[in-house]
């Protein structure tokens, strides 16, 4: 006499899905596994995407594991999610730097990035060029929304010091003192004599008797207006 027993094991369906921007291993679709099987699922993002987590029947606290392990004790459904990323290229012209530093930086789509321009000594920030919001070219910091690859340049301009002085018997416009001027600026200086005096000449980095005089700021300059008593 013989006795034979047929044995069976419960099976469950694992449904794997992948959002836009990547795939999975096992591949997206339905997969049958014996009860108790521990299934490792790996998410692989496409170029310019990153894995952003699992949704569905995933163990609590393990939503960002990659790979993730699913225990098949019931039918389960798991989705791998991905997010688009874009490149922000930041550059700085001569005379300063930026934060974030010049170079390429990767950000998730929709990220708002604040960029600050910091001029070197004797320079000033003169505006942004590139993919900047219209009307915000002179903002500092500036906010860039990453909805595509973007390139932004911080520009700076050299400044020079104009030192104006006036001798006894008068003053000047601009007034005596130290004035910062952008490179290449043409500055008009007028000598203004006091009562009983008259303008006589310019000194230091200027000469002659023309009044007013125009100074081109291509270096630090010093100008003095000289006066003499009338008669």
Place of tokens 């019931």: 74
The domain ranges of the chain are: 11-84, 86-158, 160-229
pLDDT > 90? residue 228: yes
- What are 22-64's pLDDT values in tens digits? 999 999 999 999 999 999 999 999 999 999 999 999 999 999 9
From the CB of residue 230, how many other CB atoms can be counted at a distance below 10 Å?
10
Categorize the per-residue pLDDT at 188 as very low, low, confident or very high, splitting at 50, 70 and 90.
very high
Burial class, 170, CB count within 10 angstroms (exposed 0-12 / middle 13-18 / buried 19+): buried
pLDDT, residue 77, reads 99
Q: How far apart are CA 8 and CA 16, in angstroms?
A: 25
Q: What is the sign of the dihedral through the CA atoms of 201, 202, 203 and 206?
A: negative
Radius of gyration over alpha carbons of the chain, in Å?
36
Mean pLDDT of 92-107: 98
Q: How far apart are CA 197 and CA 227, in angstroms?
A: 6
CB 78 within 8 A of CB 56: yes
Work out whether strand 103-108 and strand 123-130 pair parallel, antiparallel, or are unpaired.
unpaired
Mean pLDDT of 187-210: 97
Q: How far apart are CA 60 and CA 43, in angstroms?
A: 18
The two tokens of residue 86 are 């874009």
- What are 102-139's pLDDT values in tens digits? 999 999 999 999 999 999 999 999 999 999 999 999 99
Give the CA count within 13 Å in the CB-facing half-sphere of 79. Answer: 7
Compute the mean pLDDT over every residue in the chain, rounded to the nearest whole number: 98
- What are 150-180's pLDDT values in tens digits? 999 999 999 999 999 999 999 999 999 999 9
Instruction: Characterise 142 by phi-psi region: left (phi > 0), alpha (psi -120 to 50), beta (else).
Output: beta
Categorize the per-residue pLDDT at 231 as very low, low, confident or very high, splitting at 50, 70 and 90.
confident
């Amino acid at each position: 006499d013989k006795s034979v027993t047929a044995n069976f094991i419960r099976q469950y369906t694992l449904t794997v899905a992948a959002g836009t921007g990547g795939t999975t291993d096992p591949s997206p679709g339905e997969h049958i596994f014996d009860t108790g099987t521990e299934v490792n699922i790996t998410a692989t993002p496409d170029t310019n995407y990153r894995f952003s987590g699992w949704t569905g029947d995933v163990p609590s606290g393990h939503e960002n594991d990659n790979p993730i392990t699913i225990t098949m004790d019931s039918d389960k459904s798991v989705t791998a999610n991905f997010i688009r990323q874009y490149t922000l290229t930041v550059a700085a012209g001569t005379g300063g730097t930026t934060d974030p530093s010049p170079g390429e930086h990767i950000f998730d789509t929709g990220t708002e990035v604040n960029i600050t321009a910091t001029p070197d000594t004797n320079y000033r920030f003169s505006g942004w060029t590139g993919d900047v919001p219209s009307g915000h070219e002179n903002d500092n910091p500036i906010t860039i929304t990453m909805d595509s690859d973007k390139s932004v340049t911080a520009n700076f301009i050299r400044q020079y010091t104009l030192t104006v002085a006036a001798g006894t018997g008068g003053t000047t416009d601009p007034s005596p003192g130290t004035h910062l001027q952008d490179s290449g600026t043409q500055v008009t200086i007028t000598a203004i004599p006091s009562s009983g005096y008259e303008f006589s000449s310019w000194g230091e980095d200027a000469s002659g008797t023309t009044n007013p005089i125009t100074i081109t700021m291509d270096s630090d300059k010093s100008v003095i207006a000289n006066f003499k008593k009338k008669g």
